[in-house]
Amino acid sequence: MDIATNPAPEALFEALSAGFNIWCTPEDHPQGWEDVRLIAGAFAKPYGFVGTVTWGWEGERIAFLSLNTEAYDLADQRPERFGRTTDNSRACIHNRPDDLLWAEWKIRWLFEQAEIPCPPIVVE
């Protein structure tokens, strides 16, 4: 399901040493990403960064998944709505409810494909 090498529509993930990134495409994206221009860049298809999942360890087992989303493409392409706030943060693109809902669905789907029970998802 590696977005970097797999052109299949469902390949939206990028492995990290302690978890994975989730990307979206023009055809499969969170609500609110309509009309956002995404380009292929280094990957096998057009993409936009949605968020990161990191492993939450308890001893030697993954006890939970920590999810954090950042809608950078929304901020870059719609600065009037999603740009930097007055305190120079990007709070309006951090963990947007629509991004979290979509990412959680994709995470659960990925674990189903691997036939592994999905650990609880905790939002950072």
Q: What is the Cα–Cα distance from 50 to 94, expressed in whole angstroms?
A: 10
Q: Is residue 7 part of a domain?
A: no
- Give the Cα separation of 55 and 100 in Å (integer): 17
Q: What pLDDT is recorded for position 78? A: 87
**Nearest residue to 20 via CA among 63, 58, 65:** 65
Interval 105-115 mean pLDDT: 97
Q: Is residue 21 part of a domain?
A: yes
- Give 114's DSSP letter: T
**Is residue 57 a part of any domain in this protein?**
yes
Residue 88 forms part of a structural domain = yes
Domain count, the chain: 1
Contact 120, 111 (CB under 8 A): no
Average pLDDT over the chain reads 92
**14 strand-pairing partners:** 21
The predicted model gives 57-65 an average pLDDT of 95
Percentage of the chain modeled with pLDDT above 90: 77
The single residue listed with the structure tokens 């399901």 is 1
Residue 90: pLDDT over 80? no
Report how far apart the first and last C-alpha atoms of the chain are (Å, whole number): 24
pLDDT for 26 beyond 90: yes
pLDDT band of 89, cuts 50, 70, 90? low
pLDDT tops 80 at residue 107? yes
User: Distance between CA 95 and CA 107 in Å, rounded?
Assistant: 15
Q: Per the domain annotation, does 5 fall within a domain?
A: no
pLDDT of amino acid 16: 96
pLDDT at residue 44, as a whole number: 82
Name the residue range of residue 69's domain.
13-123
